Homo-oligomer: A and B are copies of this chain.
């Protein structure tokens, strides 16, 4: 550690003296390529309104669940980090206090990607020169706060500074897309909506009927029949396509895509609708219905060309008490065993060889890389293997992904790097890290004489830019 905190230019490249120079050469060839960020969760309002970010805690700590989870695991309470109902007990209103708690816990992030990304953000974006700690928390806070007051740190300016060519947002099916309409005029082709219908496809969720109403309102089509429900979904997809949308996004517990006979689907829909708060339908029936609806979404994608992003295998809100107090997505999501070979079979049998369909599949169950996803992506033209996602979007996990998937799927059947973040300032850090890790992997292939250097440079550019661009191109 030197007195001034800096980032090493070779960070995250392989250490050994043979591979590193090759990795550096590959990395430098792709470092400055534009960023395509099609699977993001930044609120569209940030770009539409272009207001300054409120404060360092609201920007960097409160919305980042990687970060709050780690502090909770070490004894912090969510309200102390500004998470939860603002009128709840222990809710911290002072952003500086929140930021101090984060800095005091800096040690706990050692070895995690949060640590890596945050270093990048603090040093590269905000010019911080001291390592965060209880002692330096205020100094770091002030430095960032000063930046945020500068117009150069407003969302659109950062979009330029970060080199983001296109960014996708995630939007409920009933979104009016007003903000996107404004952005289409002011920043054409830069900020694109993504159609996310999850709540509408899960009739047992308490909000289902309410969400159906929202869908009806947005589409102007009554959703109290199965036919109306499908028509309204189709209508909203068309609206997303019209607004420049290129993709849909689906998070289900299971990868099952088995369609039901029309009658059976209609019956389940009606049964769910009759029950109070969706309670008319059993968990098994809901699972069958949502698998069926995934198949319907694939069928609609084969019609309208929206690329289908699919990331199953997460048990949402593992601790129901925490979810009840702090809201959905705050209750600790945990990955579970995921099965793709049988699960995706119906969709792949129907559309896997279609030129008008594309699915990009993500997983947080690493086992399926070499066993199922690489073999599937390595033969079905409609399937691309997505980048390592969420917990796996980390240096060693990304390397394992390359090592597990490439030998079977090759590079051409992959999506290239896709971030998946609501932490706007982490986007350049994440893409930079992925480019470094890919450069390291490719450099090893070169050093082992399994690939020529010109091929490695060409492949690195594919993974960083050309493959994401191609994977999300309208079908």
Point out residues on A near B: beta carbons under 8 Å: 1, 7-8, 10-19, 69-70, 72-75, 107-113, 115-116, 315, 318-322, 332-337, 339, 341-342, 345, 348-349, 352-353, 355, 364-367, 370-372, 374-381, 391-392, 394-397, 400, 403-404, 406-413, 444-445, 447-455, 458-459
Contact = CB atoms under 8 A, between A and B. Distances in A.
11 contacts: A15-B16, A16-B17, A109-B410, A111-B450, A335-B372, A335-B375, A336-B342, A370-B392, A395-B448, A396-B403, A396-B406
Given A367-B366, A395-B450, A318 B348 contact: yes
A410 B342 contact: no
Contact of A379 (B73, B321, B410): B73
Nearest to A105: B412
Given A315-B341, A375-B391, A394-B408, A451 B110 contact: yes
A121 to B, nearest CB: 15
Contact of A411 (B111, B345, B367, B411): B111
Contacts of A376: 318, 334
Contacts of A374: 391
Given A377-B73, A407-B394, A16 B16 contact: yes
Nearest to A444: B15
B341 A318 contact: yes
B447 A319 contact: no
B12 A448 contact: yes
A227 B7 CA distance: 62
A341 B333 CA distance: 10
Contact of A378 (B73, B409, B458): B73
Given A319-B349, A370-B397, A407 B381 contact: no
A62 to B, nearest CB: 16
A257 B15 CA distance: 44
A470 B114 CA distance: 24
A10 B367 CA distance: 31
A458 B133 CA distance: 15
Nearest to A65: B379
B334 A454 contact: no
Q: Which of A335, A345, A404, A408 has the most CB of B within 10 A?
A: A408
Nearest to A332: B379
A446 to B, nearest CB: 9
Nearest to A458: B107
Contact of A410 (B108, B341, B364, B375): B108
B380 A449 contact: no
Nearest to A318: B345
A391 B367 contact: no
B12 A15 contact: no
Contacts of A8: 449
